[in-house]
Structure 1
């Protein structure tokens, strides 16, 4: 049986780290003490933020791609598929993936595409690339790169975005293998009840280009706990059909949007905290890359090793939940 494994993973983030003191002072000037929300609900201490005019989601994606190609001892010529995912793409045309193809000196037979599933984007892209590779005998190796310039969307009047967001990119090399490893399964739950709660551009692209639109993200508060019951059902369904129990899994790489969500899932299943990868205190919330940054960090620190079973989970705006099961 042909399996699809993650051969290598690499990341890129800006040099500029901003700690909580800046944001606490910012909101104190507005008459709000945001300490509990920023530190205990979101789980933030610091985050990496673009502070120049030369970096954006495409430049970060390029740097992460170069890093993973060097790590894998590959070049752009070795890629049969380049998939770029972002909710803040630098370009709508030409696609960012085609621009990466040019920068990486890709070959003529390479398939390129941009995707956007908001914060769920990179898990969705890995899922779709893996399934496509299994179906297409001519695709042997893929680059999937996620990159969000999240702070571009942040509203300085709202802690939920301004004090929460960070900027980063992550790139993975997917490769066909006959080893008993790699992508196992995925599952989705979509309930579009909050489709209008987190819009960017706030009044749509056409109004923004015409100069009549607000530039920051609109964030209308909603009860995030509505995602928990379907999340548990997703986990149980996917694990059951793969003859695994949640206690048999070696690591959990979840959305880093809020440490409170991670704690809720951990307590629901009474799981060992050491199995949960958490990097949101250092990177902030990086959107499409957040579960993969946690995965990368777990590998780098020796907490995730080859042969481990990993459960990924995240939520995309609107909302859509995605969970993915993988043997690393």
Structure 2
């Protein structure tokens, strides 16, 4: 199983967070603590006068990964669209992507919304599906978010945290059973289910202009504790040591959370990429965007390298994944 082609698409407009921070500081809202926890400098935003949507960005990312990989859309057997802010509910946006790219008739298409852990779950599901089916060998996973249309500009956490963007990757069952998904572990604490909400009163009472409500009580610490408690046991059951992990792909939401895990296990900083400072937080795609940027800016992974993925989604749920490249 291979995860070997990735593509990042983003709007042209870059917002520097200096002005946003100064806006809150003038209201005597200290941003230093939030900035230290999240680690942000810039992010990509779809301007208000733009016609760009979650779907259009997803289509561009899909076209980009197919072009760069030299894989035809006719070779794609599954299209999964991952988003918390889809353009459509009916039909699913994966079908819209299939139509835009002229996909073949015998293609499975579906959307997934598991918030920021969505791409992680999609990789888990599609790896198992491809391994167990005779109906296909290649899957196209497309993640896209237009967060700027649903986030509250007056909330100091969401006002400068998230980027509008799209990301696509291809998963291929090449018949090599020595690579791919080795193990996965999930953790859910639904007591946080009302801390981040959109629409805030549900679709049955949705009003135009509704924005996401975000209670600062949700900071991801539960998922950090999950990682600290379970990484050793998770690796032990797979007979892998921390020293054998070649790359740690952690949720890019908070640099503080990453550093807590790094310091606890005394992990080498060069093995834990963080790109949200320059790119903003991209939601579900964030650990895989870190993989993309690491291979472009640092070095390419080689066959047999071990990857440990940790990420989380609001509500909340978290996961650990062991992948062999």
C-alpha distance in 2, partners of 1:66/1:185? 30
Q: Deviations over 1:12-70 (max 9, x none)?
A: 011111112121122133232313422x2110011111114311211111111111101
Query: What is the match of residue 28 of structure 2?
Result: 31
Greater shift, 155-164 or 178-187, is seen at 178-187
Partners of 1:19 and 1:45 within 8 A in 2: yes
Shift of 1:90: 0.9
Partners of 1:83 and 1:113 within 8 A in 2: yes
State the TM-score, normalizing by the size of structure 2: 0.95
* Number of residue pairs matched by the alignment: 321
Partner of 1:238, secondary structure, is helix
Query: What is the match of residue 315 of structure 2?
Result: 318
Shift of 1:234: 3.2
> For the aligned residues, what is the CA RMSD?
1.5
1:248-327 aligned at under 5 Å gives the runs 248-307=244-303, 308-327=305-324
Runs of 4+ with >4 A deviation: none
List gaps (5 residues or longer) in structure 2: none
Name which of 39, 46, 51 aligns with 1:43: 39
Residue 216 of structure 2 corresponds to residue 221 of structure 1: yes
C-alpha distance in 2, partners of 1:181/1:301? 24
C-alpha distance in 2, partners of 1:131/1:304? 25
Shift of 1:286: 1.1
Query: What is the match of residue 14 of structure 2?
Result: 17
State the TM-score, normalizing by the size of structure 1: 0.94
Partners of 1:5 and 1:175 within 8 A in 2: yes
Name which of 154, 160, 163 aligns with 1:163: 160
Partners of 1:251 and 1:304 within 8 A in 2: no
List gaps (5 residues or longer) in structure 1: none
Partner of 1:257, secondary structure, is coil
Name which of 115, 127, 130 aligns with 2:127: 130
Partner of 1:159, secondary structure, is coil
Residue 50 of structure 2 corresponds to residue 57 of structure 1: no
